[in-house]
Structure 1
Amino acid sequence: MSIRARLRTATAVALTAAAIWVPAGTAAAEDISPGATAQSLFNTIGPHPVATAVRTNPCQESLFGMVQHVVVHLLGNRDDMTCTQAFPNGLESPIGVNTYYPADIADLTAAPLLVFTPGINSNPGMYDALARQWVSHGFVVTIPYDYVNSLVHVPALGMAAALLADRDPNSPLHNKIDLSRTVFGGHSAGGQAALQAGTLFPRVAAAIDPELRVAGVLAIEPGPLAVGSLIGVPTLFLTGYNDFVVPDFAWVRWWQYNLTFAAPAWIANARGVSHFSPVDGLDAYLSAGTAVAYLRYLVFDDEAAKQFFTGPNWLLPHDKTYFSVHRNAQADAL
């Protein structure tokens, strides 16, 4: 074989390998076209199948769920919510942890952990679609709940469940959770609990497990009981222009984002998003793609996702999904 032919063959192999390593459904950094949105690029199902013992049903199958169903539809949700049998939507315990993980996790070295806390009075099954999307992109996801879902003990419960599974030789997650890439997330009261976890856990991580490190926080329309000045890890605040429960101009900006001085922080206010949009369908929740992009940037250093959050020409401010986007000085320096 001639040198030129060998070079052509080597180039083809390299390009094929590169294509294999680009996650399904997401763009390579060089493929981002002007005007592309995080929703169009990252609101996708990733390459990993999902494994979970969680079973859901339409929320309106219970009396309490019917009330929730009517309320969210009156407030603009498009799709029907799903619920588990956790009380008061059923007769199972109102306290627990739902766990989702890549079905092919045995083939992975380890997967990052996302502990996601629901909103107050929410059923954990309402976040089933989001959890499955995050798992398909390579995360282990725990959804801890106690119905109130407002304080740091709830994400602590989700963390404890993940630690036990990682240490259990009979669990498919044994030695498969990368605790050094742990993210706390949550919606509404659960977002407030995630911010509390982002305040507490970095300070006590070494005492819990020498491998544990908090990579960041994803706070979706969070409640008021958290203060930005206490947070020391990267944090993305996602708000909604149509949200009258957690308005973008209220505490989420006053004493959460505006007071986050010790770590990079971003805040993005999405047009057409209400307080209950995160429990709508993935296409109806217009920040679903941004959440995936942030998580991929945070723990995988995904080059395409990174362009939405870092650098002098970062893309999120130009994303037409958002009415306003800001980042603090620490994020500017990245």
Structure 2
Amino acid sequence: MSFRARLRTATAVALTAVAVCASAGTADAEDIAPGTTAQSLFNNTGPHPVATTVRTNPCQESVFGMVQHVVVHLFGNRDDLTCTQAFPNGLESPIGVNTYYPADIADLTNAPLLVFTGGINSNPGMYDALARQWVSHGFVVTLPYDYINSLAYVPALGVATAMVANQDPKSPLYNKIDLGRTVFGGHSAGGQAALQAGTLFPRVAAAIDPALRVAGVLAIEPGPLAVGSLIGVPTLFLTGYNDFVVPDFAWVRWWQYNLTFAAPAWIANARGVSHFSPVDGLDAYLSSGTAVAYLRYLAFGEETAEQFFVGPNWLLPHDKTYFSVHRNAQADALS
């Protein structure tokens, strides 16, 4: 069975070569030189310009944001945080969804959906750089938030917002979102919420919308309220060697990665990455390139990205960015 056939079986996502080329402009696999890291290859701006109504400002412009700014720098962050005006960083509603999409989406057949939920007490503007990078690689990205960001109803808000836009003739996203390639992602508490969504949505997707399919989950330093044995879609766990909030050796392995038996799963522990590195600059968050590679592999079936995750000679274990990299039996079986 081919790789794409296996991936369709695991994720129930119908991919075609036409959709891949039209949506992302991806190419056949390229030779990757020994020692090349996912960060060096994929931590870049993709070919698509970004459109959004989201506006950010330095977090330290508010008292609450100043506290957040000081905390992340104490944990080793290099760059200043960016925030929106969502309360308590401003006077706008603490509950909402920020949407980003390729500005050239009218020229695309469609685009996969990434629903990404931030950490507890975070501001959605802190993930603005990551969202823009993912959009530049061909995704529609929704960032749902309610300040707590810990349970599956938050990513559900992101899905609902995307579905409404996809059905609205006045929206630039009208009939342009491929709900059949929906990925849930999140950081910290939001990573836990993404895992919950990856558990629940595949079971109810057809009742919500016949087109809705969950392609997989990107869980970045996730919280403990999710269990791997319940997850039935491909999942990448990204952890940090310097993360003392969500240590790689704790629940991320105990009852999340180690108990993921029903679908392919990977876990990668990055050197020099702390719990707050995902809200640092893209160059400072050393797993940002791996996240892009995984998303391109998962949603587009890109063969160059695939080499980091699939096959007997998969590249991620040789990536010097990581202290440790593992995959489960289901991921081993992919070829």
Regarding TM over 0.5, the answer is yes
Q: Say whether 1:209 aligns with 2:209.
A: yes
* Structure 2: gaps spanning 5 or more residues: 1-20
Distance (whole Å) between structure 2 residues aligned to residue 333 and residue 293 of structure 1: 19
**Cα 1:22–1:99, aligned 2, differ >3 Å: closer, same or farther?**
closer
Contact 1:192 1:223 (8 Å CA) reproduced: yes
TM-score, structure 1 normalization: 0.92
**Cα 1:164–1:23, aligned 2, differ >3 Å: closer, same or farther?**
closer
Q: Look up the equivalent residue of 1:89 and give its one-letter code.
A: N
Q: Say whether 1:198 aligns with 2:198.
A: yes
SS at match of 1:80: coil
Distance (whole Å) between structure 2 residues aligned to residue 260 and residue 21 of structure 1: 33
Aligned to 2:258: 258
Tell me how many residue pairs correspond in the alignment. 314
Per-residue deviation, residues 214-236 of structure 1 (Å, max 9, x unmatched): 00000000000000000000000
Per-residue deviation, residues 177-229 of structure 1 (Å, max 9, x unmatched): 00000000000000000000000000000001001000000000000000000
Q: Look up the equivalent residue of 1:320 and give its one-letter code.
A: K
SS at match of 2:30: helix
Contact 1:23 1:46 (8 Å CA) reproduced: no
SS at match of 2:39: helix
5 Å-filtered alignment, 1:163-312, equals 163-312=163-312
Higher relative contact order (CA 8 A, sep 6+): 2
Aligned to 1:58: 58
Contact 1:129 1:281 (8 Å CA) reproduced: yes
Aligned to 2:15: none
Q: Look up the equivalent residue of 1:274 and give its one-letter code.
A: S
Contact 1:27 1:41 (8 Å CA) reproduced: no
TM-score, structure 2 normalization: 0.92
Distance (whole Å) between structure 2 residues aligned to residue 287 and residue 28 of structure 1: 23
Per-residue deviation, residues 274-293 of structure 1 (Å, max 9, x unmatched): 00000000000000000000
Distance (whole Å) between structure 1 residues aligned to residue 45 and residue 269 of structure 2: 24
5 Å-filtered alignment, 1:13-92, equals 29-92=29-92
**Cα 1:97–1:263, aligned 2, differ >3 Å: closer, same or farther?**
same
Distance (whole Å) between structure 1 residues aligned to residue 116 and residue 123 of structure 2: 13
SS at match of 2:259: coil
Contact 2:27 2:302 (8 Å CA) reproduced: no
Distance (whole Å) between structure 2 residues aligned to residue 199 and residue 46 of structure 1: 30
Distance (whole Å) between structure 2 residues aligned to residue 132 and residue 147 of structure 1: 21
Aligned to 1:7: none
**Cα 1:295–1:267, aligned 2, differ >3 Å: closer, same or farther?**
same
Question: Where does structure 1 differ by over 4 angstroms across 4 or more consecutive aligned residues?
Answer: 20-24
Distance (whole Å) between structure 1 residues aligned to residue 270 and residue 153 of structure 2: 30
CA positional deviation for 1:30: 2.8
Distance (whole Å) between structure 2 residues aligned to residue 102 and residue 206 of structure 1: 27
- Higher-Rg member (1/2): 1
SS at match of 2:200: helix
Distance (whole Å) between structure 2 residues aligned to residue 45 and residue 23 of structure 1: 13
Contact 2:102 2:135 (8 Å CA) reproduced: yes
Contact 2:196 2:226 (8 Å CA) reproduced: yes
CA positional deviation for 1:31: 2.9
Q: Look up the equivalent residue of 1:211 and give its one-letter code.
A: A
Alpha carbon RMSD of aligned pairs, Å?
1.4
Q: Look up the equivalent residue of 2:196 and give its one-letter code.
A: Q
